[in-house]
């Protein structure tokens, strides 16, 4: 098992964590493990593409003209 150290933890947050752990009958370490497990095991609500689009939506978009296709598809020549 891996270990982490959390420095500069706010005293009020530590106190809240201690109280929550006591209410649930856990150690502070176990309470943190439970909180992290719950937070990180949430299913992603949207995919990566949607998150990227949402992040840059305020920047506006670019409308590109799609040219009409006039050439017929060509054989790539893989069999030659």
pLDDT in tens, 1-55: 889 999 999 999 999 999 999 999 999 999 999 999 998 888 777 888 888 888 8
Could you tell me if residue 27 is inside a domain? Answer: yes
With respect to residue 51, please indicate whether it lies within any of the assigned structural domains.
no
Give residue 23's domain range: 10-41
Q: Is residue 64 part of a domain?
A: no
Predicted local distance difference test score (pLDDT) of residue 57? 85
Count of domains for the chain: 1
pLDDT at 56 over 70: yes
CB 28 within 8 A of CB 18: yes
């Amino acid at each position: 098992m891996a270990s982490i150290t959390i420095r500069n933890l706010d005293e009020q947050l530590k106190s809240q964590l201690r109280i929550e752990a006591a209410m649930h009958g856990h150690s502070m370490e176990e309470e943190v493990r439970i909180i992290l497990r719950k937070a990180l095991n949430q299913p992603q609500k949207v995919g990566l593409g949607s998150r990227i689009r949402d992040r840059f939506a305020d920047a506006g978009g670019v409308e590109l003209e799609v040219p009409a296709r006039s050439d017929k598809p060509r054989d790539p020549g893989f069999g030659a």
